[in-house]
Amino acid sequence: MTILPENMLNNLFENLVTQFVKDNLESIMKAEIQHFMENEQAGERNSRNGYYKRSLHTKYGNLEDLQVPRDRNGDFQTQMFEPYQRRDGWLEEAVIQMYKSGMGTRDVARFIESMFGSQYSPTTVSNITATVLEDIQQWQMRPLQKRYSVIYLDGLYVKLKRSTVSGEVVYFAMGIDEDGHRQILGFYVGGQESSNGWREVLKDLYNRGAQEVLLGVFDGLPGLDTAFRETYPKADVQHCIVHKVRSTFPKIRIQHKTEVIEDLKTIYTAADHDLALAAFDTVKTKWSKLYPKEIRSWEEQLSTLLTFYKYPAVIKNAIYTSNSIERMNKEIRKRLNPMNSLTNMDAAEKIIYLEMMDYNERFAERVIHGFGVLEVKKKLSQLFEQRYPARETQDNN
């Protein structure tokens, strides 16, 4: 018995697969034109007119001399591919995924050429990924749900090349809806982070339908809480505890750092709001002489740092910090870092959008811990009804 070398076996197998795909495509197209001719309107003079040959590159191999049926009037068009399409789309999808993973357009072009011999220039790669821009525009304009229990806000700086390379902010908004599902609501690229920038973001969310919100969670950027309340005057504000601790930590002397941080922890881990206030009084008495500015800063923000006590304890971990949106930002930063600096805003938007799609798909069916509990859902529903009565909603509509 003759044993073929492994490379010959592989080639034989690939040829069999390619022939199998070719035969099946041709069978489907024969059925298509038969159906087309049977459904031609009576009285129209038309008939089958043989075949023409063409090639089609697929992920199963290059199909040469593919026989495509045609009619005499030239009206028939197969649904298998477009008239001038030379690929079945898988390579274009691969280009988008490679671009998303952090490869530059030149790197993608070189890789495609080395693997497939295709003359994909950086411009061609850019044109392929540009199709994503149309999707971004539609996604950014999509209607939102009316009610969100929580909206998180956070910014991420990316390097963009304009006349010089500089950092520009990406504004992110994330929401937890009435059913407890967490999704990215929108992102907005450009400029420096400011309360005015956030004001425009919030107006966009509101205009797209997100008009009833219980709680906004974000850091202590000056003016952000004011901008949030302008759009959502009936919502609560929760300043992120983790951000507050981080901003305090560098200002404490080395010998006191551990003790001060442990004392501050007693405030936001207290069993209830009253005990949290009592814990702050203890911290204030102990440290205000050594760190008057830091303690005063905590006191000024205490009401918004402890907002989470107004909500069910089981969802505390989801609402007393903005960690969830920060974790997402870290994922995006990992994708952007290999690219050093992006050529323009479009390049940044394309990569971020693709990451957003992955994120929303992963969390589409997940209920955030605590939000699926019946008592929690009842409590949040009551808060919605108290703040946004049905009659008032109808009047606004």
Average pLDDT across each block of 10 residues of the chain; the chain has 397 residues. List them in order.
52 64 75 78 69 71 78 77 56 64 66 62 65 80 96 88 71 96 92 90 97 96 94 97 95 96 96 97 96 96 97 96 91 71 68 84 90 96 94 55
How far is the C-alpha of 25 from the C-alpha of 31, rounded, in Å? Answer: 10
How far is the C-alpha of 110 from the C-alpha of 91, rounded, in Å? Answer: 14
SS3 209: coil
pTM for this one?
A: 0.71
The residue ranges of every structural domain in the chain are 91-138, 139-387
What is the pLDDT at residue 31? 80
Cβ proximity of 371 and 180 under 8 Å? yes
Quick one: which H or E segment has residue 52? strand 48-58
The alpha carbon of 265 is separated from its chain's Cα centroid by a whole number of angstroms, namely 32
How far is the C-alpha of 397 from the C-alpha of 394, rounded, in Å? Answer: 5
How far is the C-alpha of 241 from the C-alpha of 232, rounded, in Å? Answer: 21
What is the pLDDT at residue 163? 59
How far is the C-alpha of 160 from the C-alpha of 340, rounded, in Å? Answer: 9
How far is the C-alpha of 190 from the C-alpha of 370, rounded, in Å? Answer: 35
How far is the C-alpha of 29 from the C-alpha of 32, rounded, in Å? Answer: 5
How far is the C-alpha of 188 from the C-alpha of 185, rounded, in Å? Answer: 11
